[in-house]
Amino acid sequence: MGKLDILRVDFGKFSLQNPIMTASGTYGYTDEFDAFLEVKNLGAIVTKGITLEPRPGNEGRRIFECHGGMINRIGLENVGIEAFIDKKLPKLQEKGINFVLNIAGKSVDDYVNLAKICNTNDIKAIEVNVSCPNVKSGCLEFGTDEKCLYDLVSKIREAYNGFLIIKLTPNVTSIENLALAVQNAGADCISAINTVKGLGVELNFNGVKVSKSFVQGGLSGKCIKPVALSMVKRIKDTVNLPVIGLGGISNLKDMLEFIAVGADAVQIGTENFTTPNIAEKLVDELTEFITIQGFRDFNHLKEELRK
């Protein structure tokens, strides 16, 4: 049995050669990390969020580094779906990079139109962002109300035949009700979690005079791992869908913890910024761990972790 067979994850409509992916917004569109790793060795990359029209993102300060993580308010800056199809998709196809297209919108029609374009262009998997806290309208508005979420996912499902992943927010009272809505609406998979709402405060003193600035946005990184683990377990205890776990993964131990609580694959996010080869490194470490410990393959490891 080769390396690819040992780590393979089969979701039916969509397969990964290994369970390690990059998270949307932390990687790019295609091969931006070529200088640091062999992109084709990853399970898949998840593209930067794409909207119908190009977006400039938020003005002002967008990043605030904090203990154990970072706060971002990028605001879904992106090239738009037309430029993605014309310029980015051919490069992904040429290089044989397995990918998931992350999509975001302001309205149900936005999401449905994006889904139709993805379907027409035979994009095998999409991740629907209903959980970004950094934009003024759309995304989080759908991801916090189970009825709105059910309606949205149902309409996307009608428009798109490929592997449909819904990315959920932790900024809710009941992640269970949202997960059920997603499952009942026909989604194939859930990814969790997106960023946690956070606030960065910077104070400057000049004698008794104080100046201050705030950065309010999405908190990510190692500091949110306990929240993410809890959410993944609650989701997996509630629905029968595959779950992709993310939130603070920076080493093999973190990854194994996510698998133990119910994740079927993982995404690496903020750690890409400080250790840009982390995803490929984890592929190698997971392969070595499975071999040394005597597991048959990744599925065997997963079964034992969940007993």
In the three-class reduction of DSSP (H, G, I as helix; E, B as strand; rest coil), residue 26 is classed as: coil
The 8-class DSSP code of residue 258 comes to: H
CA dihedral sign of residues 136, 116, 125, 243: positive
Report d(CA 195, CA 267) in Å as an integer. Answer: 13
Question: Strand 69-72 and strand 209-220: pairing?
Answer: antiparallel
Contacts of 23 (CB under 8 A, 6+ apart): 46, 246, 267, 268, 269, 272
CA dihedral sign of residues 100, 286, 231, 66: negative
Catalytic residue among 132, 139, 189, 223: 132
Structure tokens at 33: 């990390």
Report d(CA 219, CA 109) in Å as an integer. Answer: 29
Structure tokens at 237: 């205890």
Structure tokens at 111: 């999401």
Report d(CA 272, CA 278) in Å as an integer. Answer: 6
Catalytic residue flag (residue 132): yes
Residues 90-126: b if buried by 16+ CB within 10 A, e if exposed: eebeeeeebbbbbbbbbebebbbbbbebbeeeebbbb
Q: Are 71 and 205 in contact (CB under 8 A)?
A: no
- Partners of 206 in beta bridges: 209
Q: What amino acid positions are annotated as catalytic residues?
A: 132
